[in-house]
Chains A and B, each alone.
Chain A
Amino acid sequence: MPKTNIQPEKPAPAAPAISSFGPDNVTGYRSFQAGGFEFSRDEYFAHIVWPKGTHVVPIDQFLRSMIRAIAWNFFYGTINFDAVFGTVNHYGTVDMFAGRFNDAYVNGGLDYSEVFDSDALMTIFKDVAADWTNEGFDPFAAPQETGTAWGRKRDENPTALGRQRITARRMIGLPGDAELRTDDNGYPVNRMFKDVVQDAPLVEAKPGFEGEVQAFNLFAYLSRSDVTWNPSVCSVVGDSLFCPTSEEYILPIEHGNDRVEWFIQLSDEIIWDVKDRDSGHPRARVTMRAGDVAAMPADIRHQGFAPKRSMLLVWENASSEIPKLIAAGKARVTAVDF
């Protein structure tokens, strides 16, 4: 039976208080409160306080994690900002926790969790990201492609934070669907993908079938991604979503699965540290090179390391029933038996 501590906190309390304070007279940053959690930042760190403890996270890591929680609408399962703090998505409500998936905190009785309405928590996450992200720092960008998050408050960076995650309804490039990336619409080829061929498939559609006979260059499309570790949907078959992404440096979060997801390495190399979802204990290291395919079980958390910008195809089954089936022990946590 799978472990069940990703079940929602029950009973759901009345809407926890959410508010903000400041700005601070020295750093210029506002502080925020959501239920029993308090958030503040200084020049280098985010500080988190909850009724049973305190925590400190480097501000660049905190903002890189938070912007992905925002972009993915809390994503599938658990977003661990680090070994202590994070969120669990229940698709309508979200648990925010400290120490819940950390053996030492749990055994010491220091773990803490609260349930929030998703939209309400999203509002405060966006406020935190907007106030704490300075001009020049892009939390979606690879470290070599952006300025730093350090220092006192300067101008904000709404352009970087305002990106819309691309989600094709059927396939990228189809009439009326998500657009291809080009120089003209603001997506130049990335510096590490200058050698990726930018040709197009030959498409000869007979009259009346122009909307169905369609193809595009996926590798060229990915070579023009301006973000890292931010999967977009490029094709849809029912609940089957192909979510390719370009990866460089470190996945800021440790993603805790609530369903099996698959990785198909399209180019170059990513090394994955895999840990137990609930305890954080190491379980495996998976090295993926071009053409490799691997399943991530539904009871793990994973974090990727990409020495060079690479192309990864994340394959998701978006069915809303899967987490319930797995949590109820009615579906296995691994992809296939053999």
Chain B
Amino acid sequence: MSDYQTNFGSLNHFQKGGVQAIADDPKNYAFSNIFEVASHAAPFERIAVAQNFEYVVEVSRAEGRSPWYSADHDEMVICMDGVVEINLVQPDAAIVAAGTQGAVQLKTQPSGRKMGRIVLGRGHMALLPKSAAYGFQAEKPSVLMIQTLKGAATVEKWADICQTTSS
């Protein structure tokens, strides 16, 4: 048995740090916590917690069955808490216009060939391939972090999620 305990945090138990300003504005650090953001989110809201020009990192509370999404570029997803199933479909026809940035929410599951399914536990990372359609499913509230571009599905609420005064 290890003498050391690794703390990953979870929806039910996280201990947030913070910015102690010395000669700066805490807002410059856009400080937030993934689990806190997910704890206040609607299921499958894709909330940006980090942005660098056109790229974002989104956090999503996985609970129940998600809408279907697709993107014209690869995305990556990490399960930060819980268990999340991903179903992947190769659409019969392109459903996201070439050059579109970010994930696009689809109205229904697209027709096409089933590519497979993945079940992620905590710390697992999966590829969401370019042009594939995908849907998430989680029996219990779980947390996803998605490496993608800012797009139509991205929700920005920086003032609500970020630290604004010195801790």
User: A-side interface residues toward B, CB under 8 Å?
Assistant: 170-172, 174, 191-197, 199-206, 209, 212-220, 223, 234-240, 242, 259-262, 264-269, 274, 276, 281-297, 308-309, 315-317, 319, 322, 331, 334-336, 338
- A335, B30: Cβ atoms under 8 Å? yes
**Which of B2, B117, B124 lies at the interface centre, i.e. has the most chain A CB atoms within 10 A of its CB?**
B124
Interface residues of B in 31-48 (CB under 8 A from A): 31-36
Chain A residues whose CB sits within 8 angstroms of the CB of B147 once the complex forms: 235, 237, 240, 242, 315
Question: What does the 1/0 interface line of B114-145 toward A look like (CB < 8 Å)?
Answer: 11111111111111010010000000000001
Chain A residues whose CB sits within 8 angstroms of the CB of B19 once the complex forms: 284-286, 294
Question: Considering only CB atoms, which chain A residue lies closest to B78 in the complex?
Answer: A218
Pick out which of these stretches binds chain A: B6-14, B62-70, B91-99.
Answer: B6-14
- B118, A237: Cβ atoms under 8 Å? no
Nearest-neighbour CB distance to chain A for B77, whole angstroms, equals 9
Chain A residues whose CB sits within 8 angstroms of the CB of B165 once the complex forms: none
Question: What does the 1/0 interface line of B11-27 toward A look like (CB < 8 Å)?
Answer: 00011111111111011
Q: Choose among A199, A218, A269, A293 the residue that contacts B33 (Cβ–Cβ < 8 A).
A: A293
- A287, B118: Cβ atoms under 8 Å? no
| Interface presence of B104 (CB below 8 A) | no
- A285, B30: Cβ atoms under 8 Å? no
Question: Considering only CB atoms, which chain A residue lies closest to B88 in the complex?
Answer: A213
- A297, B23: Cβ atoms under 8 Å? no
Q: Can you identify 19 A-B contacts, CB atoms within 8 angstroms?
A: A170-B74, A172-B125, A194-B2, A196-B6, A201-B118, A201-B124, A204-B117, A213-B117, A213-B127, A234-B125, A259-B52, A261-B52, A264-B34, A285-B19, A286-B19, A289-B14, A290-B15, A291-B9, A335-B50
- B53, A315: Cβ atoms under 8 Å? no
- A293, B23: Cβ atoms under 8 Å? no
- B127, A290: Cβ atoms under 8 Å? no
Chain A residues whose CB sits within 8 angstroms of the CB of B8 once the complex forms: 219, 266-267, 290
- B145, A264: Cβ atoms under 8 Å? yes
Considering the chains assembled together, what is the distance between the CA atoms of A206 and B114 in angstroms? 7
Question: Considering only CB atoms, which chain A residue lies closest to B80 in the complex?
Answer: A291
- A282, B23: Cβ atoms under 8 Å? yes
- B116, A336: Cβ atoms under 8 Å? no
Considering the chains assembled together, what is the distance between the CA atoms of A170 and B147 in angstroms? 12
A201-B126, A269-B17, A291-B14 known; A237+B75 contact, CB < 8 A: yes
> Number of residues in B with C-beta < 8 Å to the partner?
70
Nearest-neighbour CB distance to chain A for B122, whole angstroms, equals 7
| Interface presence of B76 (CB below 8 A) | yes
Considering the chains assembled together, what is the distance between the CA atoms of A331 and B17 in angstroms? 29
Nearest-neighbour CB distance to chain A for B164, whole angstroms, equals 8
Considering the chains assembled together, what is the distance between the CA atoms of A193 and B7 in angstroms? 10
- A262, B76: Cβ atoms under 8 Å? no
A193-B4, A335-B50 known; A291+B127 contact, CB < 8 A: no
Known contacts A201-B119, A205-B115, then 7 further A-B pairs from the complex at CB < 8 Å, ordered by chain A residue: A213-B118, A219-B8, A219-B123, A237-B73, A259-B52, A282-B23, A296-B29
Q: Choose among A282, A308, A338 the residue that contacts B22 (Cβ–Cβ < 8 A).
A: A282
A194-B2, A201-B121, A203-B118 known; A238+B7 contact, CB < 8 A: no
A192-B6, A293-B31 known; A288+B17 contact, CB < 8 A: yes
A215-B125, A218-B123, A335-B30 known; A289+B16 contact, CB < 8 A: yes
Chain A residues whose CB sits within 8 angstroms of the CB of B52 once the complex forms: 240, 259-262, 315-317, 335
- A217, B117: Cβ atoms under 8 Å? no
Considering the chains assembled together, what is the distance between the CA atoms of A197 and B2 in angstroms? 12
Q: Choose among B4, B50, B117, B118 the residue that contacts A293 (Cβ–Cβ < 8 A).
A: B50
Q: Choose among B17, B50, B55 the residue that contacts A237 (Cβ–Cβ < 8 A).
A: B55
Q: Choose among A172, A194, A196, A237 the residue that contacts B148 (Cβ–Cβ < 8 A).
A: A237
- A203, B116: Cβ atoms under 8 Å? yes
| Interface presence of B108 (CB below 8 A) | no
Considering the chains assembled together, what is the distance between the CA atoms of A319 and B88 in angstroms? 30
Question: Considering only CB atoms, which chain B residue lies closest to A283 in the complex?
Answer: B24
Chain B residues whose CB sits within 8 angstroms of the CB of A295 once the complex forms: 28-31, 50
A192-B6, A195-B2, A212-B129 known; A217+B123 contact, CB < 8 A: yes
